[in-house]
Amino acid sequence: MARLSSPIEQLKSHYQIVVIGSGYGGGITASRMARAGQEVCVLERGKEFQPGELDEKHQLIKPGEYPDTQSEALRELQVDLPELHTGSRTALYDIHVNEDISVFVGCGLGGTSLLNANVALPADPRVFQLQEWPAEFQNDPDILTDGYKRAREMLKPTPYPDETRTDKFPSLAKLNALKKSADFLQEPFDRTPINVNFDELPANLNHVGVEQHPCVGCGDCMTGCNYRAKNTVLMNYLPDARNHGAKIFTQVSARYLSRENGRWLVHYQRLDIGQDEIDPPISADIVVLAAGSLGSTEILLRSKNNQLALSHKVGEGFTGNGDFLGFAYNCDEEINGIGFGPHPPVENGKERKKVGPCITGIIDMRNRQEVVDGFLIEDGTIAGAFASVLPGLFSAAAALLGQDTDSGVRDWIKEREREADSLVLGAFHGAVRNTQLLLTMCHDDGQGKMKLEDDRLRIHWPNVGKQPIFKQVAQTQEKTTAALGGTYLKDPVTNKITGEDLVTVHPLGGCIMADNSEKGVVNHKGQVFSGTEGTAVYDSLYVSDGSVIPRPLGVNPLLTISALAERCCVLMAEDRGWKFDYDLPSRPQPETPIMTANKKPGVSFRETMTGGFSLGETDPRSGEQSGNVAGTKLSLHCDINIQDIYGFMEDPQHFAPIQAWIDFAPLGMNLPASRAIFNLFRPGEDPKTKYFVYEAAFEVNGESYYLAGKKRVHDDRGFDMWADITTLFTLLHKGKDDSGP
């Protein structure tokens, strides 16, 4: 699988559309806008992770880049604590610890789709008729219905295969256990549609030309699929975007947005080199924020602090989607819910018993008279990378916080025997092997608030875990555990010792959609309100991710986020008269080789030059001194792309086109050049003198200006080369060339 991302050095200074984030919202937007023929750039703060390479029998012949051991997983862990941030800012597993609710998200190309449980269930239609949704959204349900359809076409959700395919996909112990619990509760049970491939594909290629293989049942979905089976955005929407010309850059962290001369400026940091300084911004005609509920909200909050007019509601309406985690520990029957980790599916000729995808079944209790009273329970797996710590962790937590749902001396003895097996033999035996993970989604009150404190995002939601719905959920999870004869254990974080704090893997809200800016941050199209009152918007600034959802959904949100993103793309295109198709399959564009018989190698680089500058001076040296005294500086930023280095060297003028933009406070910041040139070693009046020439034409409020700069390279006494090639003597002219005043 060829990498989708391009080297950061190829990042240009301007794009028509910049998409910030690469999860469901970002991947979908990039795909559809590229299909509309637009110039699309995707910025992702994380790295690009590749799955492994497999043979014709779907066995790994080269390990993937997703961690499968504890040491590897810890290296890919970053934790944002109230007082500090630990771990690499590009680490895959991103945990935000807050006083009231903590959040787990993914950091990588593909966003949290790399680590989620793949469940593609639509929300109950009644959810969209609740008062939080804008009237225009409610009045046009067909676009969302079409969005669900389009998302399914790309993500390919399907349930775990039934009994007709037991030769390759045997019955799963954890799925059978959940069915037993559903029967005990007398509630509906079903297999969940999940974005996982179970089929042999022609030539092992999927509908966008990416190599995929059938699921091996390793159970490690939540640390990243190394077996090319999980239908993450990395396997469909993002390669489709690349197929249609989108450019993708990783380890680029967007910090905030500003507005200059009718264009958006995206201020960012490069994380690949550990750089704290913010690079010169790139500009865009349209910006789509798709960095997730935390990321998009943080960017808008920081933009607001940098004087961008926005609604006062930025950061409000945060919800954990009613996430509530529990465990049925040390049950009387096998669950087999621990992932393979570093162990191969077939070892010494013996096939390991399949764990199955992370979530495969659902106890669906959403059919209540009031939609907000409904919830669901799903099975889960624990990644094998963490298997070694589970026996001790569960044993201690159960002794301190657990509630045994059955009794009797014989039962107690068996439970202790299983516990000893786990402690001695490991997590694939005994009590941990017989532990069912229970994940519930319900309807919380959605009253969380996100703020910037010391320029870091914090979440506040006092007493969130004490809401009555969570007590009801805990009681039902305990009954679910009783059906299996286990010890019920709420998520160890969610207990009276920690003040009933919660953990969510489904953060929503923060940039919620509404009828006006008094109620929300974006309109029903995803366009950002441009003030604190009314319905006026920035028509070229969008948010398209889970942050726009104004309330909990009570179900896994990925399919609804995807449908909303599809809807946003349709409306964005309609407003501009753009057309795009949904034709599949799509295939990668042929790679242009760097060097062929007819094409020589090239080179590209970025350069920024800054110095004192004073209007009215005719001598650059005195102008620099005057500018330094006055504190007035001019910066010239250049992207220089020499496509044929040999031709460039053979050309006596050594000419190359460049992209350039200028920062100069008296005229404006980030002024893009309409045209610019670069000459290397242009001959001078003296045979020993050569010039580096930089020239750029630009306009400000209808006035034309021309910046003409030269670096004078002359062999004087001593070592003067460095001073020569780093000093640009610059004059600014009125008019379209250097003949103007």
| Residue 102 pLDDT exceeds 50 | yes
Residues 6+ apart with CB under 8 A from 172: 160, 217, 336, 354, 355, 356, 360
| Residue 598 pLDDT exceeds 60 | no
348-354 mean pLDDT? 90
| Residue 314 pLDDT exceeds 50 | yes
Q: What's the DSSP call for residue 672?
A: E
Tell how strand 689-700 and strand 675-683 pair up. Answer: antiparallel
Helix axes 24-35, 558-576, angle to 10 degrees: 30
Residue 614's φ and ψ, nearest 5 degrees, are -135, 125
139-156 mean pLDDT? 96
70-86 mean pLDDT? 93
Least confident range of 21-35, 238-252, 529-543, 715-729 = 715-729
| Residue 609 pLDDT exceeds 70 | yes
pLDDT band at 652, cuts 50/70/90? Answer: low
* pLDDT number for residue 604: 73
Say if residues 330 and 431 touch (Cβ distance below 8 Å): yes
Residues 6+ apart with CB under 8 A from 335: 173, 174, 177, 328, 433, 434, 435, 436, 484
- Between 58 and 48, name the one with better pLDDT: 48
Least confident range of 47-61, 94-108, 185-199 = 47-61
* pLDDT number for residue 594: 43
Least confident range of 153-162, 355-364, 679-688 = 679-688
The percent of residues in the chain predicted with pLDDT above 70, rounded, is: 93
* pLDDT number for residue 595: 42
* pLDDT number for residue 654: 66
Residue 230's φ and ψ, nearest 5 degrees, are -80, 130
CA distances from 75 to 50, 79, 393, 658 (A): 16, 11, 21, 40
pLDDT digits (tens, 9 = 90+) for 398-408: 998 999 999 99
Predicted model pTM: 0.82
427-453 mean pLDDT? 97
- Between 273 and 461, name the one with better pLDDT: 461
pLDDT band at 81, cuts 50/70/90? Answer: very high
Distance CA 559, CA 637 (A): 42
| Residue 695 pLDDT exceeds 50 | yes
Least confident range of 265-274, 572-581, 655-664 = 655-664
| Residue 387 pLDDT exceeds 50 | yes
* pLDDT number for residue 325: 95
Average pLDDT of the residues of the chain = 91
* pLDDT number for residue 494: 59
pLDDT digits (tens, 9 = 90+) for 510-527: 999 999 999 999 999 999
| Residue 492 pLDDT exceeds 70 | no
For residue 261, count other CB atoms closer than 10 A to its CB. Answer: 15
| Residue 277 pLDDT exceeds 70 | no
Distance CA 94, CA 157 (A): 26
- Between 714 and 344, name the one with better pLDDT: 344
60-77 mean pLDDT? 93
Residues 6+ apart with CB under 8 A from 405: 478, 481, 482, 485, 486, 487, 488
Sheet holding 189-191, edge to edge: 189-191, 361-365, 375-380, 436-441, 324-329, 487-490, 403-404
Q: Which residue has the tokens 């404006």?
A: 668
Three-class secondary structure of residue 571 per DSSP? helix
* pLDDT number for residue 183: 98
Q: Which residue has the tokens 């207990």?
A: 495
| Residue 567 pLDDT exceeds 50 | yes
CA nearest neighbour of 117 among 230, 215, 25, 217: 230
pLDDT digits (tens, 9 = 90+) for 499-508: 568 999 999 9
* pLDDT number for residue 347: 85
pLDDT digits (tens, 9 = 90+) for 190-219: 999 999 999 999 999 999 999 999 999 999
